[in-house]
Amino acid sequence: MKRLSLAALSLTVLLAACQQQSTVVNPRPPVTSSPMQAGGIPTPDIDPARIILDPNSGAQYVSDQLVVGLGGLDSTTLAAQLGATVIDRLPQLDAVVLHLSDGSALQKARQLNEEGRVTFAAPQQIMQMEPYTKSIREPALSPLAVNQVFDALPQYALDSEHLNAKAAWDAGFTGRGVTVGVIDDPVDVSHPDLRANWAGKAYDPKADKTYTTVQSWLDAIDAFGSVPMPVDNQVDENIEHGTAVTSTIAAARDGRGVVGVAPDAKYLTAAMFQPGSVGSAGVAKAILWMVDNGAKVLNNSWGGAGFDPLIKAAMDYALERNVTVVVSAGNESREYYQRPALFAGVIPSAALAVNNTKASFSSFGRHISVAAPGTDILMASPLFINDDGTRKLGATPPDGSGYVLMSGTSFSGPYTAATAALILGAHPELDPYQVRRLMEETADGSVGENPNGFDRGTGYGRIQLGELAQRLQSGPMPAKGGALKVLVQFKKSDGTFVTQTQPSDVIIEKDGENGAIYGAQTNAKGLVQFAAMAPGTYTLRVGGPDLKADTALKERGSYTGKVTITSGTTLADAEPIVVTLDKGFYEPPPPVVDPYEPNDSLETATQISIGMRTQPALIYRESCSSSCTPVNGDVDFYKFSGTAGQTVEVALFDKYHPTEKIGNMWGVIYIRDSTGNLLKDSAGKVIQPGIVDNKFTAKLPTDGTYYLQAGTYLHLNPTQGEKPYTGGFTNSKDNKYFIELKLK
């Protein structure tokens, strides 16, 4: 098998991936302000200056925004401990987004995961739409298109040689009673093909606001921009993808325009992508809102590399509530296991060309479920028709038809989501796995390399709605899906066991030559879960924390074994399979006991002398392990006697010392005179160690007592050591350091 790595910590860019023709559409820059702030807590905006590239994973994250699964902890207390503020909440997942003024999201995530007090912690990941191309053509009927007209315009994808949609409709399967959630850029609910089947609610996760009228939603879209925009009937021309996607699902069958595969289904829209970018919290909020507002199918025409625990938790939230989740396979033109298509329980859809072969751009792999047309698909483009009949201008030019041709797995995915709606309209009791398996068992395998079964390019083949309709009418339903939980622990050198708190990769492969593959990472409790799975036997592969992500590790533990998933089990009742690794656990040396405490003030400063190197000490306070705030964080003081004119050199040995590293602390040290005032250099700047050499020199102005004040950089630097301390305080037994004081 191909070795898979999920070590990247990122939820990366959108793969809306319309590899269309002609015009290139550029990525949208990150937004810097929210267009509306109403309802609950607005999703935080992403400051472009805070976007950091992780050199290990290649992922981009927001350095001052931390996503935390609380695991029952009080968010206010946790924020105070970290010197952070709560800027967003996801109560359904017991999760928050914290703002860290010191830009330490990656470090704080590692610290919180290592402690194991939270469920998970990760920097807020950014998502952006990749460039894509499109071709707008005015549709025209021709003799070749006669058999492809189901409303007014020709749609080859629905004809008997492709999806065979009419066979399902004639059998009475139209998606009636099912609501599909479209998580994309905002849908034009005023479009003549889409207005009738809008479920009456639209959601802006950035403002955390729900809209219930066509005009209010159109005006909200009008205001979307990289900065707040006036409502002036000018919509950003990049907003079009969600409208196209939705028309393949639920465009009404009314004798005009195009028709969706589920023409009687309703749809909800959430503006996950607006001009600019949105983080993982906004995406998760859109998923949660859809589920809580009655969606039974979710369409996700986006994706990317890496793993994000918040998005995984949101997907599991949907699956646990019997919501079918459809995702696009991606447009990498290669074997590629992107997120969320690699998550268990979802239905990854590949794209077909017009001639019923795998589209050249479509990603492939052992996780693919089925395929649907994804090349030159005729869809709706936004018209934004105001209540008074006038139009807002945007992606569709003033003289445009309101229809567009596009290609990509972005559009095979919605055909698959619409098929799920047909199934659930007939059998609402089915779980997400049963919905997936029905599609697979009735698919046409002749389009792929293995006409009698599975292949990596098209999965089990092209969705065949005629065969599906017959099965829905009289055939047996598949067995229910199952669930799996895995708990990863380490066996220490003393024979005791400890939960693995840092992320470990967990990959499961169903037995058989073409068994499906799914992957995820453990959380800070050592747990990973897989929902809505095919029953049967799987190979379970576990890899301990990545050595690149955890430089303290010398080797990576691994495990391979067999597990069985039983039909009917759910995440609520599945007992965890315990996996024990005997390698890859970092056992730190015995903790250092600070020999100089208490020395937290000028009055209690420890006496040292010039020419002395201190013993290792700690910036740590035992009493505040669960309630410490920056104001009360540990600070150490030392005092020595000096003579006027002496030049002293003070070196701080910490994690970043160039030659003698110790502990895991980024430290800082200041020098004060006998009255407690900070000494400054000739330019009037407070004296502190250089970034490269970790030392400073100071010429003593008078005879008398001088003080050295040591602490963590992120804690003391914002106020240059003056109370009240406001920087983020990390209370860790690994905050080790020592000081060397000598004459220059």
Active site residues: 184, 241, 410
Strand spans (E) along 297-410: 297-300, 324-328, 347-352, 370-373, 377-380, 403-406
Tokens of 652: 């701080």
Total residues found in the chain within this entry: 744
| DSSP class of 86 | E
Tokens of 131: 């460039």
Tokens of 639: 């005092």
Residue 268's nearest CA partner among 311, 302, 298 is 298
Tokens of 15: 């793969």
Tokens of 377: 């698909």
Supply the Cα-derived Rg of the chain in whole angstroms.
29
* Burial class of residue 439 (count of CB atoms within 10 Å of its CB; 0-12, 13-18, 19+): buried
Are 276 and 307 a contacting pair, CB within 8 Å?
no
Are 146 and 415 a contacting pair, CB within 8 Å?
no
**Coil, helix or strand for 667?**
strand
* Burial class of residue 413 (count of CB atoms within 10 Å of its CB; 0-12, 13-18, 19+): buried
Matching residue, tokens 């009456």: 200
Tokens of 536: 């049967």
Are 27 and 188 a contacting pair, CB within 8 Å?
no
In 389-474, alpha helices (H): 409-426, 432-441, 465-474
**Coil, helix or strand for 446?**
helix
CA angle centred on 284, ends 278 and 290, rounded to 5°: 115
Are 413 and 301 a contacting pair, CB within 8 Å?
yes
Residue 157's nearest CA partner among 472, 462, 403, 467 is 462
In 36-164, alpha helices (H): 75-82, 105-115
Q: What gap in Å lies between CA 468 and CA 431, rounded to an integer?
A: 16
**Coil, helix or strand for 452?**
coil
Tokens of 393: 């201008």
